Amino acid sequence: MSTALVLDVQRLGCAYGARPLFSELSLRITGGQVLVIAGANGSGKSTLIRVLCGLQRPQHGEVQWWRDGVMRAPAAASGWIGWVAPDVQLYRELTARENLEFFARVRGMPRHPAELDALLDDSGLGGRGDDRLAAYSSGMQQRLRYACALLHDPPFLLLDEPTVTLDARGADIVARLIAARRRHGIIVIATNDPREEQYADVIIRLGQAAR
């Protein structure tokens, strides 16, 4: 395992109103590992993964992302993190390629058309890059979220319900992506699908100890 990449979580806690979702959560994940956050609907999986990527603040505790000896808090680590979730908003009036071009410009790293074609191919959208998203199925939109998340080749990949809306071919694409990306990075998966626990080096079941 590589220690050049580290996710360090220290005594993390978050509640929904008066109801605690998780408390005093501590763990350390290093390069090459996959962390799976498992639990039923409403157990706090999505909250935890949003805290890890800086989209939500915890009540207490700290999250540190380390890369080659440099530490960043989640709010400052967006350039290191790829994020895929069902609620990631895409632009239905644009084509898939135009969505990728837009997000690449927002990140300040425009991509060559050939690079965008490769991302579309890897996501199972080859030949459909010039179709507007209004014509895309929910599964095709989920595939495009993966392409958008990988635009900047992030070392850390956070997946909330990674295969939601995907058919068997889409799920196979995700499985291959996880196998390839884990070799040189860290992946965090939030899921209530027991089949996706197969990817885990470390599993958290909220309210239980990690193993």
The full set of domain ranges for the chain reads 2-205
- Determine whether domain 2-205 maps to CATH 3.40.30.10: no
Check residue 17 and give its pLDDT.
83
Task: Report the C-alpha gap between 47 and 68 in whole angstroms.
Answer: 28
DSSP, collapsed to helix, strand or coil, labels residue 86 as coil
Token pair, residue 170, equals: 């889409």
* Integer Cα distance of 191 and 37 in angstroms: 6
**Order of all β-strands in the sheet with 70-72:** 19-31, 2-16, 60-67, 70-72
Positions of the chain with pLDDT under 70 = 1-3, 207-211
3-state secondary structure (DSSP) of residue 81: strand
For residue 173, give the amino acid letter: I
Instruction: Identify which of 196, 150, 200, 161 has the alpha carbon closest to the alpha carbon of residue 175.
Output: 196
pLDDT at residue 209, as a whole number: 44
Whole-model pTM over 0.85 = yes
For residue 208, the model assigns a pLDDT of 54
